[in-house]
Structure 1
Amino acid sequence: MRAPLSWLREYVDLPAGETGRDVAARLIAAGLEVETVERLGAGLKGPLVVGQVLAIEELTGFKKPIRYCQVDVGDANGTGEPQNIVCGATNFAVGDKVVVILPGGVLPGDFRIGARKTYGKLSEGMICSASELGMSDDHEGIIVLPPEHEVGADAIELLELVDEVLDIAVTPDRGYCLSMRGIARETAIAYGLPLRDPALLDVPVPNDFGHPVRVEDRLGCDRFTARTVTGVRPDARSPIWLQRRLQKAGMRPISLAVDITNYVMLELGQPLHAYDRSRVNGAIGVRRARPGEKLTTLDGTKRELHPEDLVITDDDGPIGLAGVMGGADTEIADAQGTAGTTEIVVEAAHFDPVAIARSSRRHKLSSEASRRFERGVDPQATSAAAQRTVDLLVLLAGGTAEAGVTEIVSPSGPHTVKMRADHPDRVAGTTYGRETVARRLQQVGCDVYGTDELTVTVPSWRPDLTDPNDLAEEVIRLEGYENLPATLPRLPSGRGLTERQRLHRRVGRALAGAGYVEAPNYPFVGDAAFDRLGLEPGDPRRRTVRLANPISDEEPALRTMLLPGLLAALRRNDGRGSQDGRGGLALFETGLVFLPTGEETPAVRLPVDRRPTGEELASLDAALPRQPRRVAAVLAGAREQDGWWGKGHPATWADAVEAARTVAREAGVELTVTADRYAPWHPGRCAALHAVVDGEHTLLGHAGELHPRVVKAMHLPARTCAMELDLDLLERASSGVPQAPRVSAFPVATQDVALVVDGSVPAAEVEAALREGAGELLESLRLFDVFTGEQLGEGKKSLAYALRFRAPDRTLTADEATAAREAAVAAAVERTGAVLRGA
């Protein structure tokens, strides 16, 4: 909402020297968001005067029309002689009144005016357009003034070019500040000055002689006022003061009737609509749209109406989308002579905010009216707004107000809130006292009764005040947030982080230490992401929780896996050349996924005036989907770069598996790695990751290289690899905080063994057999070589392991180490069919 300071002074007697920045500081302290204070006319310097065109000579021989004009500026030039001015605009004629800046003047932007020769003529000044004066962005032509203005008069004062405009970002709970009335009220409270309320008008009593109105939906429209003005001059123009106020407020002048309704809306906050009575057939009605009905709105768009849309009708059908935009069929005709509108029906109504908000979003049609209705409009201002509109039409358009006044009002009582007098004290942690609380609430417009227990009647223009905390907020903000005492919360001692939190932190530190960069992503996903990942139509991961009001229509659901967002982050960083020093990228994320079970119950609305009960919290939890925490990592490019230290290597599926093992080690869990086929991984380079959870062999996640089709669909680097694990399952498999290894004082005995097995035998199976056969003396086992070749035979591979043996209480003999090695080999031979290489 843009609020000109000159307009604001009409309702509040601000001190003469008070600037826009001073007012902004007071309003900000009261809780409003003043974004900027724009100084109009800054740098403008006269003489800028009203001139009358005496003669026009058309200059030829140029690429565009050029006119050499004689302009009478009165005594403003000190001589009384006409000024000769070269002008390229053609929207004026001899006898028109225009705005002229004389030599020595300065236009906004430090554009200095002097007498100079141009197009072969001496030009002594400039005839100005609205854009050159900073009035608007209109470049169509120069300003043509009404004929009644005196030649030589000061145009700076006439056009109100010097002013300050406060640009206020109005939050949804303060819809009343989308009007000069609301901002003036806040200003009056901030300065402790009286308010001249523009809505306090004498309004005639409703009668049966007004234009007929029929409201079928009293829930959608609880108040409707209709007034009629006849004898309106179709050629009447908006006066300059009215146009300038609209322009300063950010609106474009259109025609007198439309400008008046916009002006009253800005003044009182009540949207209005004006109908050409000759184009309205019968009674004006308010109802819900019927199936198949269509309406062409004022923007020229033909819209198919929804049964929930609230519409304005006459006997022929819809003539307007209530609270959003009028229809083209009853538009005011701005024409000369008798062809224009001479009889106007003024509508001032109050509509249901929810219905208007839904219609506005459904039709993707946001208007000044809908912005106000959906935030809450004062229902008791309809009569005053209609009266103000009628008064201006009579004053400026020469019309006559008909005696008929139609007003339909649904019975409703004032909203009251009961609150303890010390409730704001307890909320703010300071002492205001009953008198301060009552005084501040009365300044807002409330009626306050009671001593210890207050009964507060909320004003009609504040629908946001619904409970004691809202009233407490009003007291606190008006007393000043800066006056609240600063106190630190008392933290309970001895709790610290939970085991789960410690695990999550250890996992993050471990991955960061392994060269991965954390990249948190938004938890939103769309079907297109699942398509790119190659998930089948029946894949459980496609079953998502849909958002009621998504930020983007392309991502309307909550994620069921971390990889879509993480891979998108990898693609963006790769495209921007953000590879690390190794020439590759490695990212990780820990976060929640959302898995609906189909057993969720409808959510309950928790109270705000007390702590929810255990049953209410349990009911809310039952409405939520399952939300396990996952960890995922993606990597592409070089894992190690070539250098003087030797040859590097690119990221492979093994690095993704190692990332999973890095995570598992932080939980003290040993993963079992087996081959698997699972989208979006490559069917031949996909590993399933298992561990023992609650006594059962459980799948924790997958790791490996992504399928080439997925890489191509997502525009990822070649051979991109990924891993995703369930952290909650990993925590359940954990034996607690990993214990530091005990350092033995006895030496280690190392034995190497190379086994030849079929190519289809997993290395993990061979490793498990070696561990089982080696017994308690085995300290560690590591696969250090994999070899295939003709000498082994087709379909064979050699796996070479380093086995470390150590006893906790003695030095092992060579015979003991050899016996343990042979037992390990025997177990591998028995379980996997291995053959000792070289035997």
Structure 2
Amino acid sequence: MKFSENWLRSHVPTTVSRDELSAVLTAIGLEVEEVTDLGAKLDHVVVARIVSAERHPEADRLQICQVDAGQGEHLQIVCGAPNARAGLVAPLAMIGAKFGDFLIKAAKLRGVDSNGMLCSAKELGLDSDASGLFELPDDAPVGQSLVEYLGLPDASIEIKLTPNRADCFSVRGIAFDVAAACASEVVPFNAAPVAAVGNRELQIALNAGAEAPRYLGRVIEGVNPRAATPLWMAERLRRSGVRPVSLLVDITQYVMLELGQPMHAYDLGTLQGSIGVRRSRAGEQLKLLDGRDAALDDSFLIITDADRPVGLAGLMGGWDTRVTDDTTAVFLEAAHFAPAAIMGRGRKLGLHTDAGHRFERGVDPALPRTAIEYATRLVLDLAGGTPAPVTEAVNAADLPVAAVISLRRARIQRVLGIQIADADVERILRALGMDVAAAGEGWQVTAPSRRFDIAIEEDLIEELARIHGYEQIPTTLPGGAARVAMPSETRLDELSTRRQLVARDLQETINYAFVDAALLGSWQLDQNVVALANPLSAELAVMRPALLPGLVATLGRNAARQQGRVRLFELGRVFHPQAGDDRPAPMETTRVAVAVCGEADPQQWGLATRKVDFHDLKGDLESLAAASGAVLTFVPSTRPYGHPARSAEVLRDGQTIGWIGQIHPRLAQAMDIDVDVYAFELDLAPLAARELPRASELSRFPSVRRDLAFLVPEGAAWADLEATLRRAAGPMLRQVTLFDRYVGQGVEPGFKSLAMGLILQDKSRTLTDRDVDAVVTEAVAAMEREHHARIRG
């Protein structure tokens, strides 16, 4: 938002300097981005009139002008501006004027004397227009100081607004904040109703419900189409970053900048019937003021004339009904549109307008009446005309209603940590335009209709804090004793889990918690998922039910970029819906996942090159399990995304906690991954749980080892064999080690030879051969009984 400093001061008188004003604006949340001085160094610049202009004999583009500067004798000025002509009133920099380091002095241009310089707006630092001389009104007093005539010095101030402060998209809106911060008062605004003289009215029909609950219009006939925009208005517009166009257009822009209410003017002669507000229909076309043809769908709010689109509501008017230099009758529009009805519509068409910027953030619903009366008065004063009555259509039930908010003294002190005097609370809130009434332990406060951001008690406290001054709130260290939370020894913490995986030569990744539903479909994980109501994109439309789809996709992107050996892990949350009539939040579960491909070991001279396989990954998992003391078992898995012969369910204490295996080749191919991928994913909580460590004495007696070789059926699982041996051997068995597997000559088909070592030890005595033989005999018998195994001869 850019505005003139002098314009602001006309609404809120204050004695603070420009630098102090800038500091105050920034301190109360209206951050000043730029301050441009206007007219600060324009000494010796006066209003002058060109009496005659003749072509320079030695230069086609130069003219020799005789200029009246109010000094009696005419001054001869050589000028190259294309608009220099007899009768033009323009600024003249006299000899001795200085622009920066450039000093104006008498000179000869192509042999002709020149005693000053006629100036453009850019040379004066008042505007960026350098196309010609700065044209002043014909009635400008010749010889008067330009600074005095233009009401200089002034400054163009640009502030940065947060989206919740739509009320400050106007000079008057900013004035309320300045008044509160500077202990001043806003000057009352005079927008007295203009009495109707004519009787021409256009009927208005609202057919957009809550999207357009209020619309006002007024016909003004007999307007002077050649009336010029007065200098004071043009200068205020120019200093606010708006280039003057024509009087009727400039008045609507002026009202918007001063009050915050966007307006539009239609040429009454181009309108054919009643005015309506409705949703557009798919396929409708509208030529806009900027000349482009807009193709509309059913999401736009439009203004119609006898059901013909004539304007995009809240954005831009139409070409066919625009005001021109021949317009003698005008229809003024002021309306309230709901922010949701305007939001995003301009971006669909590549439009960014000042009106749309304001309506998207919220415009005061009570402002249209004031704005149309004010605009009417400006039109009558500057261009004449006959005003008709104001026609208003309103759906009162759809207009926002300001709520009464209770503000408590105790709550102010609790939130801010300081006590603000009652008189200061009331002064600040009233200066901001709020109604304040004392009640009980505080006040009952009603915010003005322009303040959409004031809804609860904390909003009022925020207003008090920023106006009273954040610097007035002391910095206080928190008191009380800090609680030291000791980590539980019954659980392996997440940091230790990460360190363990990093120690296994794995790299951590962090993927989005949102995934593409199509990706989940290829994994057959797209059932019973949590879909987002308003996703960022179609590729991030579902909350992930598993870590592996995203992790394997990341592995694939790395493998496609010449990374032959990829070893990744992720520790994060997955989400599943919960049943219930009250739409409970998704259930979150923390999991750990690993995905690897390529070589088993980094390339080196001491090891033969080989591809990673299931057992390498199983070693990584068992290393992670060993950190918590977990004993895992594995059973074949039938999950659709796993290789049917190289995947397993992972169990702890009989409970399934995850999956490990090779990603199905068809799935890898669908994901454009042309290498074997091995992965696992487990719930972290059951994996990280561990028993409370207890110290125990190590046995002082030697251990005994017995090696056995069994012939067992090919389908026998080692996990089952190990469990049988441990049950049969009893408490003396310390460890079972499988050190050889053999099939081939000497082993009948359908069987395999497994060689294992049993390590036995007792804490209270040295084992005898009889003790060891008894354990071995029981172990062999159990293997024969439960697995049809026999000792290999």
- Give your verdict on TM over 0.5: yes
Match of 2:110 in 1: none
Aligned to 2:23: 25
Structure 2 distance, partners of 1:104, 1:651, is 86
Answer yes or no: is the 8 Å Cα contact 1:38–1:166 preserved in 2: yes
Q: Separation in 2 of the partners of 1:571 and 1:463?
A: 49
Q: Which has the larger radius of gyration?
A: 2
Letter in 1 for 2:314: G
Mapping for residues 787-798 of structure 1, pairs under 5 Å = none
Q: 646, 649, 665: which one pairs with 1:688?
A: 649
Q: Is 1:406 matched with 2:391? A: yes
Is the CA contact 2:574–2:588 (under 8 Å) kept in the aligned structure 1?
Answer: yes
1:522 and 2:512 matched = yes
The alpha-carbon deviation at position 524 of structure 1 amounts to 1.6
Partner residue, 1:439 = 427
- Give 1:84 shift: 7.3
Q: Per-residue CA shift, 1:66-95, capped at 9, x if unaligned?
A: 98444759699x99555476x9xxx87977
Residue deviations 1:760-782 (CA, integer Å, cap 9, x gap): 65554444444444443333345
Residue 795 (structure 1) shift: 8.4
Contact residue 211 and residue 337 of structure 2 kept, 8 A: yes
Which one of 338, 345, 350 corresponds to residue 352 of structure 1? Answer: 338
Give the deviation of 1:25 after TM superposition: 3.3
1:386 to 362, 365, 372: 372
Establish whether residue 203 from structure 1 lines up as the match of residue 193 from structure 2: yes
Measure the CA separation in 2 of the matches of 1:344 and 1:252. Answer: 21
Q: What is the match of residue 671 of structure 1?
A: 632
Aligned residues of 2:650 and 2:659 also touching (Cα < 8 A): yes
Q: 2:577 aligns with which of 574, 596, 602?
A: 596
Identify the match of residue 658 of structure 2 among 689, 701, 717: 701
CA distance in 2, matches of 1:355, 1:781: 73
Give, as a single letter, the amino acid of the residue that structure 2 aligns with 1:519: T
Alignment of 1:100-499 (within 5 A): 142-143=131-132, 145-146=134-135, 148=137, 163-172=155-164, 174-196=165-187, 199-204=189-194, 210-216=201-207, 219-232=210-223, 249=240, 256-288=247-279, 300-306=292-298, 310-330=301-321, 332-334=322-324, 338=326, 341-357=327-343, 367-394=353-380, 398-409=383-394, 415-453=403-441, 454-485=443-474, 486-488=476-478
Checking the alignment, whether the CA contact within 8 Å between 2:30 and 2:161 is kept in structure 1 is yes
Deviates more, 1:675-684 or 1:440-449: 675-684
Correspondence list, 1:641-660, <5 A: 641-643=602-604, 652-660=613-621
Aligned residues: 776
- Percent identity over the alignment? 33
Q: Is the 8 A contact 2:528 2:577 kept in 1?
A: yes
Cα distance, 1:363–1:773 mapped onto 2, change above 3 Å: farther
Aligned-residue offset at 1:351: 2.5
Aligned-partner Cα distance in 1 for 2:147–2:555: 58
Q: 1:103 to 1:423 in 2, by over 3 A?
A: same
Determine the C-alpha separation between the residues in 2 that align with 1:704 and 1:744.
39
Contact preservation (8 Å) 2:39, 2:152: no
* Superposed CA RMSD: 5.3
- In 1: Cα distance, 2:14 partner to 2:614 partner: 73
- The AA in structure 2 aligned to 1:726 is D
The one-letter code of the counterpart of 2:21 is V
Shift of 1:378: 1.7
Which residue in the other structure is 2:111 paired with? none
CA deviations 1:41-90 (Å, max 9, x no partner) are 8999999999989678999xxxxxx98444759699x99555476x9xxx
* Structure 1 stretch displaced more, 678-687 or 45-54: 45-54
Q: Aligned residue for 1:607? A: none
- Which residue, out of 34, 38, 42, partners 1:37? 34
Q: Measure, in 1, the Cα distance between the counterparts of 2:246 and 2:665.
A: 63
Identify the residue that residue 809 of structure 1 maps to in structure 2.
764
Retained in 2: the 8 A contact 1:129–1:143? yes
* Residue 555 of structure 1 pairs with residue 547 of structure 2: no
Give the superposition deviation at 1:550: 2.5
Q: Flag the 1:112–1:629 CA change in 2: closer, same or farther, 3 A.
A: farther
What secondary structure does 2:501 align onto?
A: helix
Tell me the amino acid that sits aligned with residue 589 of structure 2.
Answer: P
Distance 1:35 1:84, change over 3 A: closer
Amino acid at match of 2:684: L
C-alpha distance in 2 between matches for 1:518 and 1:385: 60
Unaligned runs of 5+ in 2: 108-113
Say if 1:667 and 1:737, in contact at 8 Å, map to a contact too.
no
* Distance in structure 1 (CA, Å) of the matches to 2:548 and 2:506: 15
- Secondary structure, counterpart of 1:170 in structure 2: coil
Say yes or no: does 1:8 pair with 2:8. Answer: yes
Looking at structure 1, the residues matched to 412 and 402 of structure 2 have their Cα atoms a distance apart, in angstroms, of 22
User: Do residues 777 (structure 1) and 769 (structure 2) align?
Assistant: no
TM-superposed CA distance for 1:382, in Å, is 1.3
Query: CA offsets, 1:418-453, max 9 Å, x none?
Result: 343433223333322433322222222222222424
Q: Distance in 2 between matches of 1:699 and 1:438?
A: 65
Q: For 2:697 and 2:122, how far apart are their aligned partners in 1?
A: 82
Question: Amino acid of the residue matched to residue 329 of structure 2?
Answer: E
Q: Which runs of 5+ in 1 are unaligned?
A: 60-65, 117-122, 603-621
Amino acid of the structure 2 residue aligned with 1:525: V
- C-alpha contact (below 8 Å) 1:547/1:556 kept by paired residues: yes
- Aligned equivalents of 1:274 and 1:524: distance in 2? 48
Give the residue type in structure 1 aligned to 2:470. Y
Q: Is the contact between residue 266 and residue 331 of structure 2 (CA under 8 Å) also seen in structure 1?
A: yes
SS in 1 for 2:276: strand
Rounded Cα–Cα distance in structure 2 between residues aligned with 1:126 and 1:571: 71
Counterpart amino acid of residue 447 in structure 2 = V
Distance 2:548 2:64 in 1: 73
Give the conservation status (yes or no) of the 8 Å contact 1:170–1:178.
no
Cα distance in 2 for residues equivalent to 1:303 and 1:523? 37
SS in 1 for 2:466: helix
Task: Please say if residues 120 and 134 of structure 2, whose CA atoms lie closer than 8 Å, have aligned partners that are also in contact.
Answer: no
User: Which residue in the other structure is 1:120 paired with?
Assistant: none
Aligned residues of 1:595 and 1:627 also touching (Cα < 8 A): yes
Is the 2:53–2:66 contact (alpha carbons within 8 Å) kept by the matching residues of 1?
Answer: no
**CA distance in structure 2 between the partners assigned to 1:243 and 1:785 by the alignment:** 96
Q: Is the 8 A contact 1:159 1:244 kept in 2?
A: no
| AA in 2 matched with 1:704 | G
Contact map agreement 1:130 1:142 (CA 8 A) in 2: no
Tell me the SS of whatever aligns to 2:366: helix
Q: Does 1:626 align with 2:587?
A: yes
Structure 2 CA distance for aligned equivalents of residues 114 and 819 of structure 1: 122
Is the contact made by 1:160 and 1:244 (CA closer than 8 Å) also made in structure 2?
Answer: no
Q: Using the alignment, how far apart are the partners of 1:159 and 1:147 within structure 2?
A: 14
CA distance in 1, matches of 2:36, 2:743: 80
- Aligned mates of 1:111, 1:811 — CA distance in 2: 108
Query: For the structure 1 residues 8 and 803, does the alpha-carbon distance in structure 2 shift closer, same or farther, using more than 3 Å as the test?
Result: farther
Change (3 A) 1:242 1:148: closer
TM alignment of 1:84-95, pairs within 5 A = none
Amino acid in the other structure paired with 2:157: V
Letter in 1 for 2:570: E
Matches of 1:789 and 1:402 in 2, distance apart? Answer: 109
Residue pair 1:755, 1:800 contacting (<8 A) in 2 also = yes
| Contact map agreement 2:30 2:160 (CA 8 A) in 1 | yes
Q: Distance in 2 between matches of 1:353 and 1:473?
A: 24
Following the alignment from structure 2 to structure 1, what is the Cα–Cα distance between the partners of residues 648 and 388? Answer: 85
Three-state SS of the structure 2 residue aligned to 1:439 is helix
> Could you say if the C-alpha distance between residues 156 and 449 of structure 1 is closer, same or farther in structure 2, counting changes exceeding 3 Å?
closer
